[in-house]
Each structure stands twice: as C-alpha cells, then as structure tokens.
Amino acid sequence: MKLHNLKAPDSHKKRKRVGRGQGSGMGEQSGRGHNGQKSRSGSKVKAWFEGGQMPLQRRVPKFGFKNPFRTEFQAVNVQKISNFVEAGKLSDTITIADLVNSGLADDNDRIKLLGTGEIDTKISIEVHACSGSARKKVEDAGGSVEVVN
C-alpha cells in the first residue's frame, strides 16, 4: 500500500440523477424551483443579466479619472517626527530605513514630509519628497532635509 493507493471512505460521490420521480427527492421540478427563465431547458443567463432591468453597471454614475501613472506617497507630518524624536524612537539623523523601522512607513512606500504641526529639535531627515512648508519648518529649527530618489 502506498500513498497514491489510499482512498478515503465515500471519496467518490454518486452524481445526482434528477427527474426520476418523487421518491428520489429530485422529481417534479428537478431542483430548478418553480417557473421562471432558469427553470426552462436551454437557459443560458449571464451572471450579470438582470432580466431586462437596467443593469447595475449602467445605473451607477461614472465620473472622474484615475491616473495609472500616479506616484503614491506615504504622508509623514513634522509633528509626528517631532513626537517620535522626543520619545526616543528616532534620533536626530533620520534615514528612510529609520522611518520604516519606527513604523511610520512600509518597506516599499515612497515617503513625503508634510508641514502639519511644529518642530523645535534640530534634525537631518532623508525622504523621497517634501512640501515647502515642511522644508521651511525643519530648516528654521536648524535642521536639513535631503530628497532622495
């Protein structure tokens, strides 16, 4: 006996024979319910067909444009950076790897520094993009922002 010879009990289920009388439990309508398009023979109704009613994909309004080439950034505010530095989770020299390790961004995220909040500590930070207000706040605190690709 080998693994490929093993068979579970009842591993081959008999097919359901419909339309063979009331006693079989599958007589009369043969599992098709009562009347309607799907009870008839030769019925081939597409899954999205709604019986002539205006289909959902045509009822729902469509608008806007999704740019397939848009670059998504993970937003990180200067207030959050300031809080993490004060808590000791980040040092005064911050790289992209430090931001990922601290949980502010994921591995494959592109990080953008935004200017919401205040920062007083002098930091040197490395990001993929930076807003003008964020750069101004970091530089006013005596720090520097390096934009890398």
**pLDDT tens digits, 41-59:** 898 988 889 989 999 999 9
Strand order in the sheet with 73-77: 73-77, 110-114, 129-130
Which pLDDT belongs to residue 12?
82
Q: How far does CA 77 lie from the centroid of its chain? A: 23
Considering only CA atoms, which of 119, 148, 149, 122 is closest in space to residue 133?
119
Does the global pTM surpass 0.75?
no
Q: How many domains does the chain have?
A: 1
CATH assignment of the domain containing 118: 3.100.10.10
Domain that holds residue 127: 73-147
Within-domain flag for 21: no
Please compute, for residue 20, the number of CA atoms within 13 A of its CA located in the half-sphere on the CB side: 6
